[in-house]
Structure 1
Amino acid sequence: MASQHVSFPPWKAQWIWAPRRDNEAEPPAYFVLFRRSFILDGPIPTSCMVHISADTRYRLFVNGSLASFGPCKSYPTRWYYDSVDIASLLKEGVNIIAVRVLRLSPENTAATSIMRTSKPGLILHCSVNADISIDSDESWKSRRDESVQLVPNSEWDFRLGPPFVSLWERADGRLTPQHWLDANFDDAEWSNAVPSTMAAKMSPILDSRKLCPRPIPALPEIPAAFDSVTCCSGSGGPTKSDWEALIASSKPVRIDSRATVTVDLESNELTTGFLELCMDQDGEDAATVTILASECYEGDMDQGSRSRTKGDRANSQNGKLYGPTDTYVCRPGENHYEPFWWRAFRYIRLAIQTASSPLTIRFVRYRSTHYPLEVEAALSSSSSPTFDKLWRISLNTLRNCMHETYEDCPYYEQNQFIMDSRLQMLFTYAVSRDDRLARKTLHEFHASRRDDGLLEAQFPAPCRMTAIPAFSLYWVLMVHDHMRHFGDAGLGRQYLGTVDGILDHFSRLVGPLGLVGRFAGPEDETWAFVDWVPEWRTPEHGFKGVAVPPAYFSCGAATVHSLLYAIALRSAADLAECCGRKCVAGEYRSRAEELNAAARQHCFDQATGLFTDGPGSAELSQHTQVLAVLSGAAHADEAAALMRRTVLDRERYGVVRTSLAMAFYVFRAASLAGVYEELWGELMKPWQVMMDQNLTTWAEFETNPRSDCHGWSATPMYEIVREIVGVKIPSDDTNAPVVLEPRPRMINALSGSFLVGGGRRMDVSWSDGSLSLTASDDMLVELRLGNETTQLTLGKGVPLQTMLVAQES
């Protein structure tokens, strides 16, 4: 459906809610149903816009059909509303607009990426035609939906990690108002809605939610079917072929009375979507259906094991499925059930228990949903199946971690973190010109500013979260990234004040040695997080001692924080200079040089040629070496040797390795040091292991990963575009040459289409010593092969071939 954005005021719509029961405290989570009917006597309009929002989430129906899902994740002073054209869903006669709203109270810790305010509410406006205008007001009918309860955290399986999403349901179809979406439904016993806002007559107090138009497109909901059945069980129940016919062609499956059956359904790739089940219950005795969504098969955790063991993710013979569950109790007759929130899954297990009456499954399917990213780059083919697989899995990982925000992982958290999002935005820029979600992300973190100058590490969030100061530095890099890719000085200028506040905070942490010291604030509220490294554990500091270099505690400073600060200062200098603030740029660069000098003086070990993790420390990590190269603390003439020691001779020197979270930066340092091809095989080992283990998305960690889909691990896609094909960060300046620096020695043959700036693309292919280029527009290309640089002029659509020259070792 087409949508458009207009301002919400001058409409008369008001925030409404169902009336509270006498002396009732607000439940932590509940659903409310709303209805409004109108009669359309004249012709159906060609366009009919509904503008709608809710606190906390809504699902809009028009004449029983799904119309919209929202509002987009936000924060109170930028509370988004959706605009959707419902003309195609209208009919002559009586029409029904119905809304189901999920309300999470401020005290509820579920859904840590979804805001909620002190007031529940729904607001809607629709001008059907010149005579009919529908605004949310007290004429709307409302009712509490008692049929669904959210499963409390007290029932969470903590072997899976902390409960962050907590939107799993316990639903009873017998309590659902049947046909409440229909025009002929009798809602006489429903209550009239009541106003729900902080705004009051003759008061300057405004509603806490400042309505703004949605800045990103609506998430599509695309009908999809499961691909296969991995296994099923149950005495006298349906066979595997019965279940296969169900998912392939919706051939009904009948389950006898007093039966217990299970079936595992598979999607060929891990995905996210809204699950749907349609069932017919014979008789009055209710069947119960439990739906388990899981990322993979894994080792048995039910035998007292305290850790998870994951190997072949598709091993249905020896593995088990773990995950949260939704439970649905059937009512007599037809049942249609779908959980309110989308689920992340590769496998779905249905466990069905019937009573004295049989149950017929009509269909089980899902509607796939992701941010509608238009991928404008493609790896068409290569001589290496590994490269093709790296590309495909990386794209699927990125896609599943993009919805209304960038997400760390879609299965367990769905939180937007600065460190994770910076990488996901770079991966997005490599394959698409769509920066709408990136712009939204930049602004959300900007809006999370605290009074100490730092940003919230994760945002949006409905409550105060643990501070991770270093993440604010990644946001500075994030702003710089956007400027480099899109040349938008106006956006950079908008955020310079926030950049300066972050950098000033870190300047106050610089101690007598010239290094960033311990972070301010209570230790139980501040986490000096760097990376998930198994060797980095200081139990005496509790959870805040996890993922932190021990030198941070023992030496009073971790070298990585000073080096990351120096990198942020250099990026901020570029931003300031682009915005015409050369004096500020000079100040930033001077600070960076001082930090690098202090790191060399106090943290560089002449004996090993490596930087230590802290002043006076003997501990070594890849993190420190990599950031030393990227910040300039490691001199250019020593960077190559340093990177060889930290990657190839890591065990000899006792260097702690980065996890997948920081692997992107190891690749960047290897490239800058000129040893990229030399280190490629070693650096790619974790991804090769994941491919061998049949993952369809990249995991969060290498060893016993919690999540099988994590955005920061999609690095290989970026490497293929920027390093293997060699399309350097493009410029929107169409007069500037496109820089192409392919690495044909790394793969014998390759072809694809890639973005080269200004919305332009180039087809690149090579094989048998010949390189072919075809441009979408006339363009100048600076081709770098080995030590040779050639200027080429490409005509629109005219292929150009040149011989590949041997590259020096």
Structure 2
Amino acid sequence: MRGFFRNVILPLSLYCLMIISVSAQIRLAGYQQARINPELFQHHWAARWISVPDAPNNAYGVYHFRKSFDLAARPEHFYVHVSADNRYKLFVNGKLVSLGPARSDPYNWNFETVDLAQYLKKGSNLLAAVVWNFAEYKPVAQMSFNRTEFLLQGDTAAEQVVNTDATWRCVSNSSYSPWQKPVYGYYVAGPGESLNAQQYPWDWEKSTFDDSSWPQAHMGLPAATKGRRDYPGRLLVPSPLPPMEMVQERLTQIRLTEGLEKPSSGFLKGKKNLTIPAHTKVRLLLDNEQLTTGYLSLQFSRGKDAEIRICYSEALYSDSLTHAKGHRDQIEGKFFVGYEDRVQADGGSNRDFTSLWWRTYRYINLLITTGDEPLVLKDLFGTSSRYPLQQETTFSLPERKDLQQMLDIGWRTARLCANETYMDCPYYEQLQYFGDTRIQALITLYNTRDPWLVKNALEQGRQSMVADGLTMSRYPSNLHQFISSFSLLWLGMGYDYYRYRDDAAYLKTLLPAHRQILSWYEQWLKPDYSLGYVPNWFFADWAGSFDYGEPPREKDGDSAFQDLLYLMSLQMAAELEQNLGMPALAQHYQTLQTNLKKAIYQHYWNPEKGLLADTKTQRSYSQHVNALAVLADVVEADQAKQVMQTVLSDRSLTQTTIYFRYYVNQALSKAGLGDLLLDHLQLWQEQMKLGLTTWAEMPEPSRSDCHAWGSSPNIEFYRIVLGIDSEASGFKKIRIAPALGTLKQASGSMPHPAGTIKTQYTLNAQGKLTARITLPSATSGTLHWKGKTYPLQEGPQVLEL
């Protein structure tokens, strides 16, 4: 493992996936055209799933596999397809070339395609893989076939010399064991690692290592892609995602030292060793200055029997009862709580511990206890791991420099919550919750040209569906959970994709799943078309007065929130069916929504308050319900404007947290009050005052310091302030309706399927607007300003209004 991740950047060209139409079961195209032999979709593979002989099924274990082979010459290409259960890291001649498989489920088990050519040489070559199974300790987001196995298949006859079979050698690595330290709050992201360096087979991935004592691999089933008849194993599909972005990151400073004089800055820069004397206990508190996700590498020598504990935390804590953290930069009077990795040194030279799975941290607490021999720390650094989203937006408000910082924090949060799936949080759960993901997907659509992660989320929502008709709340997940509202929000994510990307063929495949969800809901309708008691958790927001995130509901299920979310889903589904599916079904949804809208207004509207109540008893009122009422057109025009003014001013209403503020801000814009957006960003400003570098799950005290559901300004500064929105499916028509408030200047741009949309606005002292707008080729649009509409054409144009 020495030098395991130093200066590693995995280029996208290493991972080759294919846009295929071989079988209807494979619904996602790969992120780029690539080489996958079509015969691999028609027959069982020659490669076998292999394992270490006598290794127990569904038990914690770390295993190594090696294969030496000769080449007459270095090839131009050498494609292989690789997978494992649970996870693998693949090396070629000592260099890391692939990690995976991307998280999925046994009925859609991903394999990565890699071109190994640039790592090969004439003569002898070595493939080596580490495969691990965390079994009962595995993250909830990790699914498994309950057998630890490895698979590698050459693409054509030229590459099949490396197919996994009995010619591979293997060994069980007994140096690893799970290491679990408790943290505050719900944590399901997997164990830490304890490594006894005396038992580790150092340099196992290098050609100089002697594996002659290792046994031959046990051969299991031949591999097969999804769609093979009566196949009892994992159903293989090409991973639809590019490899994760991996770049070296260095911790920036040592904030606290105990038991040792403060080291020089050269240690963190990788330029100077740090020696810990024998019989010494040392604590180093290291600060990355901003939250990150990545693999931590510790390189060391000597120090036989020394214990090294590497502890990870998003922030330090100031209160053990409330779990408050205070200002994230401050360490005085605070204490450390976080999960850990542990290494027991063997006294050898040039050891390198790199965690099998990536970690989330701002602070690293390094705890070292040495024995009879000094320990030499040679380097400590991280290698980031996140989905390779490329931001393609620009934004400039000369009068509000703070908003750029807000966008930077939001983008960092979105990046850290995007890996092999979208994630609610990278530290605690790493689960793809579809309520969170709807916002995360729209951030992707507004800020990047990448379609793969959005489509992967849509597909995994469909894959999670059960016979009842609902998606699971989160997926992939080995622990089933159902949040009824999140099935509707997953449908909404498909509708968002319909509006912002031109991909009708794929969207049509989602319609049967939409129909199942809405059919499930329809069974709970009362005679007046409102919903009765809908089963499962009906999460809305972590609002203070909500019971574990659920808005008020009466015993018979009566709930305005529930009815409104269903109404909005009917509206979206009707449009999708009308344009892509079954017009007769669209008419059915139209009938349902017409009657439901009447019932909602009749049951929940309070004319004296000018608001909709949470239930028919009208005992409580919330920002949530009234924002949804505006979005669902239950209240419109001047009435909608009045409702939203009250939503902003009446503090007696149940207030939204950072998550549901996304819907409140949308409702502001729809009610014609978008000019107020920049004056109501307190939820984000309060977190900035606390020194957060990513948006927290909820107001202080918050369990998680990184939840991308709070990054909605990275949508709304473009959609509301700059006013850029889709006015037709596939973004074929563009609506520009800036809401500048008191601003005199604003400019920015965002990606569009056909190019880039650019805007620049200047307001003079007399209130006259100069709008410079560029639309992509083959598009048209409209500019909306002060109640008037102006046509826009492709290319640049200037309007004086």
- How does the TM-score come out when normalised to structure 1? 0.89
- 2:26 aligned partner: none
Q: Work out whether 1:344 is the aligned partner of 2:360.
A: yes
1:587-621 per-residue CA deviation (whole Å, 9 max, x = no partner) reads 11211121111112222222212212112241111
- 2:313 aligned partner: 294
- 2:31 aligned partner: none
- Whether contact under 8 Å (1:397, 1:698) holds in the other structure is yes
1:118-167 per-residue CA deviation (whole Å, 9 max, x = no partner) reads 33211102369848721101121111111111225xx523xx11221123
1:254-311 per-residue CA deviation (whole Å, 9 max, x = no partner) reads 11111222222222321111111101115xx32111111111233142xxx2x21122
- Whether contact under 8 Å (2:291, 2:693) holds in the other structure is yes
- 2:185 aligned partner: 161
- 1:20 aligned partner: 54
- Whether contact under 8 Å (1:400, 1:410) holds in the other structure is yes
Partner SS for 2:597 = helix
Partner SS for 1:150 = strand
- Whether contact under 8 Å (1:468, 1:528) holds in the other structure is yes
Partner SS for 2:275 = strand
Q: 2:196 aligns with which of 149, 172, 181?
A: 172
- 1:541 aligned partner: none
CA distance in 2, matches of 1:733, 1:189: 60
- The sequence identity of aligned pairs, in percent, is 29
- Aligned AA for 1:535? S
- Whether contact under 8 Å (2:132, 2:148) holds in the other structure is no
Q: Work out whether 1:391 is the aligned partner of 2:407.
A: yes
- Provide closer, same or farther for how the CA distance between residues 778 and 594 of structure 1 changes in structure 2, counting only shifts above 3 A: closer
- Provide closer, same or farther for how the CA distance between residues 215 and 679 of structure 1 changes in structure 2, counting only shifts above 3 A: closer
CA distance in 2, matches of 1:792, 1:500: 37
CA distance in 2, matches of 1:109, 1:598: 49
- Whether contact under 8 Å (2:153, 2:160) holds in the other structure is no
How far does residue 732 in structure 1 lie from its aligned partner after superposition? 7.7
- Whether contact under 8 Å (2:498, 2:729) holds in the other structure is no
Q: Work out whether 1:533 is the aligned partner of 2:550.
A: no
Partner SS for 1:475 = helix
- Whether contact under 8 Å (2:45, 2:222) holds in the other structure is no
- 1:263 aligned partner: 284
- 2:33 aligned partner: none
Q: 1:275 aligns with which of 280, 290, 296?
A: 296
- Provide closer, same or farther for how the CA distance between residues 461 and 500 of structure 1 changes in structure 2, counting only shifts above 3 A: same
Q: 1:330 aligns with which of 334, 345, 352?
A: 345
How far does residue 112 in structure 1 lie from its aligned partner after superposition? 0.9
1:166-202 per-residue CA deviation (whole Å, 9 max, x = no partner) reads 23111111110122112232222222111234999xx
Q: 1:254 aligns with which of 275, 298, 315?
A: 275
How far does residue 777 in structure 1 lie from its aligned partner after superposition? 4.7
1:99-120 per-residue CA deviation (whole Å, 9 max, x = no partner) reads 1001133xx2531111101332
How far does residue 764 in structure 1 lie from its aligned partner after superposition? 3.1
- Provide closer, same or farther for how the CA distance between residues 618 and 253 of structure 1 changes in structure 2, counting only shifts above 3 A: same
CA distance in 2, matches of 1:733, 1:513: 36
- Provide closer, same or farther for how the CA distance between residues 763 and 363 of structure 1 changes in structure 2, counting only shifts above 3 A: farther
- 1:110 aligned partner: 138
How far does residue 721 in structure 1 lie from its aligned partner after superposition? 0.7
CA distance in 2, matches of 1:199, 1:126: 12
How far does residue 677 in structure 1 lie from its aligned partner after superposition? 2.3
Partner SS for 2:725 = coil
CA distance in 1, matches of 2:474, 2:687: 28
1:510-545 per-residue CA deviation (whole Å, 9 max, x = no partner) reads 12443212124xxxxx222222122123xxxxxxxx
Q: Which runs of 4+ in 1 moved over 6 A?
A: none
- Whether contact under 8 Å (2:533, 2:555) holds in the other structure is no
Aligned positions of 1:592-671 closer than 5 A: 592-651=593-652, 655-671=653-669
- Aligned AA for 2:286? L
- Aligned AA for 1:46? E
How far does residue 62 in structure 1 lie from its aligned partner after superposition? 1.1
CA distance in 1, matches of 2:117, 2:54: 34
Q: 2:262 aligns with which of 239, 247, 257?
A: 239
How far does residue 758 in structure 1 lie from its aligned partner after superposition? 1.9
How far does residue 559 in structure 1 lie from its aligned partner after superposition? 1.4
Partner SS for 1:772 = strand
How far does residue 664 in structure 1 lie from its aligned partner after superposition? 0.6
Partner SS for 2:284 = strand
1:405-431 per-residue CA deviation (whole Å, 9 max, x = no partner) reads 011011110000111111101111111
Q: Work out whether 1:479 is the aligned partner of 2:494.
A: yes
Q: Work out whether 1:81 is the aligned partner of 2:104.
A: no
- Provide closer, same or farther for how the CA distance between residues 593 and 128 of structure 1 changes in structure 2, counting only shifts above 3 A: closer
Aligned positions of 1:249-648 closer than 5 A: 249-282=270-303, 285-301=304-320, 305=321, 307-334=322-349, 335-380=351-396, 382-463=398-479, 465-520=480-535, 526-537=536-547, 546-550=548-552, 552-554=553-555, 556-579=557-580, 581-648=582-649
- 2:789 aligned partner: 789
- Aligned AA for 2:16? Q
- 1:724 aligned partner: 721
How far does residue 776 in structure 1 lie from its aligned partner after superposition? 6.0
CA distance in 1, matches of 2:241, 2:139: 21
Q: 1:185 aligns with which of 182, 202, 209?
A: 209
- Provide closer, same or farther for how the CA distance between residues 63 and 515 of structure 1 changes in structure 2, counting only shifts above 3 A: same
CA distance in 2, matches of 1:794, 1:572: 30
- Higher deviation after alignment, 375-384 or 348-357: 375-384
CA distance in 2, matches of 1:429, 1:317: 41
- Provide closer, same or farther for how the CA distance between residues 442 and 127 of structure 1 changes in structure 2, counting only shifts above 3 A: closer
- 2:242 aligned partner: 217
How far does residue 350 in structure 1 lie from its aligned partner after superposition? 1.3
- Whether contact under 8 Å (2:65, 2:169) holds in the other structure is yes
- Whether contact under 8 Å (1:555, 1:616) holds in the other structure is no
Q: Work out whether 1:4 is the aligned partner of 2:16.
A: yes
- Provide closer, same or farther for how the CA distance between residues 757 and 47 of structure 1 changes in structure 2, counting only shifts above 3 A: closer
- Whether contact under 8 Å (1:722, 1:729) holds in the other structure is no
Partner SS for 2:195 = strand
For these two proteins, the number of residue pairs brought into alignment is 759
- Aligned AA for 1:721? Y
How far does residue 53 in structure 1 lie from its aligned partner after superposition? 0.3
- How does the TM-score come out when normalised to structure 2? 0.90
- Higher deviation after alignment, 571-580 or 777-786: 777-786
How far does residue 31 in structure 1 lie from its aligned partner after superposition? 0.8
CA distance in 1, matches of 2:221, 2:294: 33
Task: Show structure 2 runs of 5+ residues with no match.
Answer: 1-10, 18-35
CA distance in 2, matches of 1:567, 1:225: 47
- Whether contact under 8 Å (2:309, 2:368) holds in the other structure is yes
- 2:124 aligned partner: 94
- Provide closer, same or farther for how the CA distance between residues 766 and 224 of structure 1 changes in structure 2, counting only shifts above 3 A: farther
- Provide closer, same or farther for how the CA distance between residues 204 and 384 of structure 1 changes in structure 2, counting only shifts above 3 A: closer
CA distance in 2, matches of 1:448, 1:646: 36
Q: 1:751 aligns with which of 724, 747, 757?
A: 747
- Whether contact under 8 Å (1:612, 1:620) holds in the other structure is yes
Partner SS for 1:247 = coil
- Aligned AA for 2:170? S
Q: Work out whether 1:32 is the aligned partner of 2:63.
A: yes
Partner SS for 1:245 = coil
Partner SS for 1:299 = coil
- Whether contact under 8 Å (1:311, 1:693) holds in the other structure is yes
- Provide closer, same or farther for how the CA distance between residues 214 and 488 of structure 1 changes in structure 2, counting only shifts above 3 A: same
CA distance in 1, matches of 2:599, 2:734: 38
Partner SS for 1:744 = coil
Q: Work out whether 1:764 is the aligned partner of 2:760.
A: yes
CA distance in 2, matches of 1:121, 1:131: 21
